[in-house]
Structure 1
Amino acid sequence: MQCMKFVYRSIVQYVEVTGEWPRGWSDLAANSSKGLAFQLPRDQDRVAAQVAVRFDVRLADVAKMTPDTFDAFRPRREPYYQYKGFYESMIDTATKALAREQKLQP
């Protein structure tokens, strides 16, 4: 649960700052907040062992997902469905970030 919460918060923060989906753990490390349960790159192996993150998707792909089809990040061992709230929030964050980007483009 802690690793999922960390990944969720890290990705939300990254998306809100950059308007993009992270391309790798180094992207998340660059924007990692102090005070969270884990720190990147120090805890990268531990977190990656618990949570699978798809760095190959784009923000637009995430915005089109539903909580039932969401696979941009998933726990490796726990039942994924218990995190539907995270998935709903991440989809909303992606949608809002895309809308902001479109408003900024001339």
Structure 2
Amino acid sequence: MRLVFRCIACGTSYLPPESMTYSDGPASPLWCTVHQAVARGRGIAEPPGAAAAALLMARRRADGPGVDEPARPDVRPSRPARTRRAPKPGGRRSKLS
């Protein structure tokens, strides 16, 4: 199962290898390869809680809608129903008002 992730730094979607490892180290579920290299160069560690949450969300997206979730949300009409409203007595405006 291939998981698609979104970089939290630049917002691009990326597809790491199935093994979640690159030739130079493990793949990050939070950062694309560019931002992962920048963070590694600056000595910034990947937050384990955020990485676990990103993995969980990617797995849920890959599995598709769950049993409890409907495949399509409740569909509403694109415009309101046409109704004819009766004119109110004295509802017309004159030139003086």
* TM-score bracket, shorter-length normalisation: under 0.3
Q: What TM-score, normalized to structure 1?
A: 0.27
- Greater RCO (CA < 8 Å, at least 6 residues apart): 1
Structure number with higher helix proportion: 1
